[in-house]
Structure 1
Amino acid sequence: MASAGGSGGRPQRADARRNIAAILDAAVLCLAEDPDASLGDIAQAAGVGRVTLYGHFKSRADLVDAVLTRTMAEADEILDRVDTTGDPSAALTRLVEASWQIVHQFRAVHRAAGRELPAERLHGSHDRVRRRIQSIVERGRRSGTFRGDLPAKWLTTTVVGLMHAAAEESAAGRLAAGDAPRLISATVLAALTAPDESSGASSG
């Protein structure tokens, strides 16, 4: 693990905090340009020496882990401001649109984390986002808005998976980032909306 929290639990000096912040900022920028950016590249972009960087982060994996942690903390702050009350479909649409912006902005961090960190660490970093989505899904199931014939966790996984798939399509130039929120929301609601049993019965 990174030593960004200070050794022995002692408070960090102001210059150490500034260095750490500069390194994390530089890491986000460097990883966006090249998911394989080296620690030397990141140190240079942060304006610190390699010795300083290694004094806070013992390995590239430690640094990527710290970047991921900060990214998810920023995501939580953004999603805390999303109105998830009221109609489940509208609430889920608002949450998906806000989540997409985060996924799109930090897709390079996610890609680097996928290369450097264990799968369970990457999966676990999304737990709070999944809980937000699943809470709306379960509310929608109780109200009959969302389908109850499939597990709530599977529906939640579908939502998360679509957002990451859209991020990959956008990165590859096959999907305009501005179109993604509308397409993701439309696909999600089509997948989650409860089947109209009356229309199915009449067509039989």
Structure 2
Amino acid sequence: MSRPAVKPARRADAQHNAEKILEAAVTCLSRNPDASVSDIAHAAGVGRVTLYGHFPSRADLIEAALTRLLGQGDEVLERLDLAGDPREALRVLIESSWLLIAQASAVLEAAQAVLAPGRLHELHAKPEQRVGDLIGRGQAEGVFRRDLPASWLAGVMHHVIKGAATDVADGRLDRTDAPRFISETVLGACRPVDEERGPAGH
């Protein structure tokens, strides 16, 4: 009579292992984009055979880790109200999701070595468009500088976030300070430019 419960229990165990492996992949790849399958399996507390049972190759694992992170970021951003002042909306976006963006950037670096460019673009298109659209709206409303492309300013944001994440990991920046430092730096970079006096307000 107990046999019908075996398969659901095994499925639950398998799902738990897959989640542990993905969490370990994100952690390991965020620290080192060249992290090996053995490193990730060890961090997850599973054997290589178990890992390969869920993810047939390192590329499959990296793609799954990146997809997971981007999905988590999308869930966070979907709950945010980004319809008001673009400056405040960008601040809210950064402070709510900077850590997920930093992790995704690190995993993306690993993914660039194993995934086709078209697949990378497909995975990253939605978050890139969200940030680009917000900055573009700010430019249209005159609160963000227009002399640089929105795509460039979005790239600046991602570089600042990645640098902050590295500083936090190396102990040069307190994690609680990172959101404010990032948002102030990025908003300063986006501030409209007065051709004669430089950045507005100076």
Q: TM bucket by the smaller chain?
A: 0.7 to 0.9
- 8 Å Cα contact 1:103-1:167 kept in structure 2: no
Q: Which runs of 5+ in 2 are unaligned?
A: 1-9
- 8 Å Cα contact 2:99-2:165 kept in structure 1: no
Task: Give the secondary structure class of the aligned counterpart of 1:89.
Answer: helix
Task: Give the secondary structure class of the aligned counterpart of 2:144.
Answer: coil
Deviation at 1:102, TM superposition (A): 1.5
Corresponding residue for residue 75 of structure 2: 77
Counterpart AA for 1:68 = L
Q: Distance in 2 between matches of 1:114 and 1:30?
A: 16
Counterpart AA for 1:73 = G
Deviation at 1:132, TM superposition (A): 1.5
Corresponding residue for residue 7 of structure 2: none
TM-score by length of 1: 0.74
Corresponding residue for residue 153 of structure 1: 151
**Identical counterparts, % of pairs:** 51
Deviation at 1:173, TM superposition (A): 2.8
Deviation at 1:146, TM superposition (A): 1.0
Deviations 1:144-169 (A, max 9, x none): 11112222222222222221122223
Corresponding residue for residue 63 of structure 2: 65
- 8 Å Cα contact 2:73-2:101 kept in structure 1: no
- 8 Å Cα contact 1:92-1:136 kept in structure 2: yes
TM-score by length of 2: 0.74
Deviations 1:69-106 (A, max 9, x none): 11111111111112212111111111111231213556
User: Structure 1 pair 175/54, CA: closer, same or farther in 2 (3 Å)?
Assistant: same
- 8 Å Cα contact 1:133-1:156 kept in structure 2: yes
Pick from 131, 134, 156: which aligns with 1:133? Answer: 131
Corresponding residue for residue 50 of structure 1: 48
Task: Give the secondary structure class of the aligned counterpart of 1:184.
Answer: helix
Q: Distance in 2 between matches of 1:131 and 1:33?
A: 27
Please show how residues 21-60 of structure 1 align to structure 2 within 5 Å: 21-31=19-29, 37-46=35-44, 48-60=46-58
- Give the paired residue count: 189
User: Structure 1 pair 185/18, CA: closer, same or farther in 2 (3 Å)?
Assistant: closer
Deviation at 1:24, TM superposition (A): 1.9
User: Structure 1 pair 29/152, CA: closer, same or farther in 2 (3 Å)?
Assistant: closer
Deviation at 1:178, TM superposition (A): 2.0
- 8 Å Cα contact 1:107-1:167 kept in structure 2: no
**1:190 and 2:171 correspond:** no
Q: Which runs of 5+ in 1 are unaligned?
A: 1-11
Q: Distance in 1 between matches of 2:43 and 2:196?
A: 61
Counterpart AA for 2:136 = E
Corresponding residue for residue 171 of structure 1: 169
Task: Give the secondary structure class of the aligned counterpart of 1:175.
Answer: coil
Q: Distance in 1 between matches of 2:100 and 2:122?
A: 17
User: Structure 1 pair 193/102, CA: closer, same or farther in 2 (3 Å)?
Assistant: same
